[in-house]
């Protein structure tokens, strides 16, 4: 029998009836194809690189953003990759989008309600969010299938900076962690229900106070890795998204890392990041359902000040 199974968003491949039945009855999902991760690289963050999360290896060029900028955040669904905000060098309110399926340059989507950098991105297949940022506690949301300006959702717990790339969510709930308020980093984790609007609610605490961690997630587990406080961190924490409470230690990255780009499939998390503007070629990977230290995935051209997302994070395409 063939092994190239289609997903809900990709009809190509050989339809294996046994595998379709097993996934729908046993796992309550459809078999899906490969998961693509896209991340903006470098201190000017014009170039976007791509990788396949299921297959370890080096990243390759995908396309360019409409404007060179760093310290942005990323959201996405099964079809679209979106980058929001950033600095170039002044803060901007730009939102860019592209289709995951085809390597190409990004196009204008609309604007955030306020220009800011170091926002945290999260969302499901319908709605994307940009939370907080330097000197801002605003949460914006966009409808991913359309284009247009963002709408106010509510606020995080306080004026916050350093939530960058905190893409931790299930299909119903978004979590944000790693704040400066401003001042020293704190260990606060906030959450919202994606389909609603309103202010974020306290979820619990990280194991270590820090800002700018990278976020990865399955449909049930959220993970934050790296970040910065008095120095850069290598810690990896995890929580069960549907619950409330403090994070638990998962393991460590292969090296200390500030604002790494987090990208996820349902099973694997990939982090590309660095603790300096000069960059590093390292990309790490973990198995989300397990615990332990990360291992090498491959290399990128330059992972400095990265932000990223995927078309398979947080349970995307797992429901019928």
Q: Which two tokens stand for residue 72?
A: 């942005």
Residue 62: inside a domain, yes or no?
yes
- The terminus-to-terminus CA distance of the chain in angstroms comes to 24
Please report whether residue 222 resides in a domain. yes
In a domain, 258, yes or no: yes
| Residue 5 falls inside a structural domain | no
Long-range contacts from 133-138, C-beta under 8 angstroms, 24+ separation: 133/85, 133/91, 133/160, 133/161, 133/163, 134/91, 134/161, 134/162, 134/182, 135/159, 135/161, 135/182, 136/160, 136/161, 138/113, 138/114
Nearest to 52 by CA among 302, 289, 303, 270: 270
Q: What is the Cα–Cα distance from 231 to 197, expressed in whole angstroms?
A: 35
In a domain, residue 18? The reply is: no
Q: Rounded CA gap, 258 and 264, in Å?
A: 18
Domain count, the chain: 1
pLDDT one digit per residue (tens) for the chain, 320 residues: 444 455 544 545 555 666 556 655 555 555 557 899 999 876 666 889 999 999 999 999 999 999 888 778 999 999 999 999 988 888 999 999 999 999 999 999 999 999 988 899 999 999 999 999 888 899 999 999 999 999 999 999 877 777 776 789 999 999 999 888 777 888 999 999 999 999 999 999 999 888 888 899 999 999 999 888 766 678 999 999 999 999 999 999 887 777 788 999 999 999 987 655 445 678 999 999 999 999 999 988 767 767 899 999 998 876 54
To the nearest 10°, the Cα dihedral for 260, 264, 267, 273?
Answer: -20
Indicate which CATH number applies to the domain containing 205.
Answer: 2.120.10.80
214: in domain: yes
Residue 306 covered by a domain: yes
Q: What's the domain range around 135?
A: 36-315
The reply to whether 61 falls in a domain is yes
Tell me the C-alpha distance between 28 and 10, whole Å.
18
């Amino acid at each position: 029998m063939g092994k190239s199974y289609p997903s809900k968003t990709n009809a190509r491949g050989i339809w294996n009836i046994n595998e379709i039945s097993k996934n729908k009855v046993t796992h309550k999902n459809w078999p899906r194809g490969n998961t693509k991760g896209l991340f903006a690289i470098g201190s000017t963050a014009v170039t976007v690189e791509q990788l396949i999360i299921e297959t370890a290896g080096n990243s390759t060029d995908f396309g360019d953003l409409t404007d060179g900028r760093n310290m942005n955040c990323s959201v996405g669904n099964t079809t679209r990759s979106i980058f929001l905000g950033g600095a170039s060098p002044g803060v901007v309110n730009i939102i860019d989008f592209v289709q995951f399926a085809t390597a190409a340059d990004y196009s204008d989507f609309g604007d955030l309600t306020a220009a800011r950098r170091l926002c945290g991105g999260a969302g499901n297949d319908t709605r994307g969010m940009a939370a907080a940022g330097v000197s801002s506690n605003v949460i914006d949301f966009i409808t991913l299938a359309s284009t247009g300006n963002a709408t106010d959702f509510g606020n995080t717990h306080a004026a916050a900076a350093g939530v960058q790339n905190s893409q931790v969510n299930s299909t119903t709930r978004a979590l944000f962690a790693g704040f400066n308020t401003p001042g020293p980093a704190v260990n606060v984790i906030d959450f919202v229900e994606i389909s609603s609007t309103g202010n974020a609610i306290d979820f619990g605490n990280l194991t270590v106070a820090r800002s700018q961690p990278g976020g990865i997630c399955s449909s049930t587990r959220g993970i934050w890795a790296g970040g910065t406080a008095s120095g850069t961190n290598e810690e990896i924490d995890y929580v069960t998204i549907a619950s409330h409470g403090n994070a638990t230690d998962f393991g460590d990255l292969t090296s200390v890392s500030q604002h790494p780009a987090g990208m996820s499939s349902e099973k694997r998390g990939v982090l590309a990041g660095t603790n300096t503007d000069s960059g590093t070629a390292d990309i790490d990977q973990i198995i989300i359902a397990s615990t332990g230290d990360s291992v090498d995935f491959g290399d990128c051209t330059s992972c400095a000040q990265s932000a990223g997302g995927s078309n398979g994070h947080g349970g995307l395409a797992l429901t019928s």
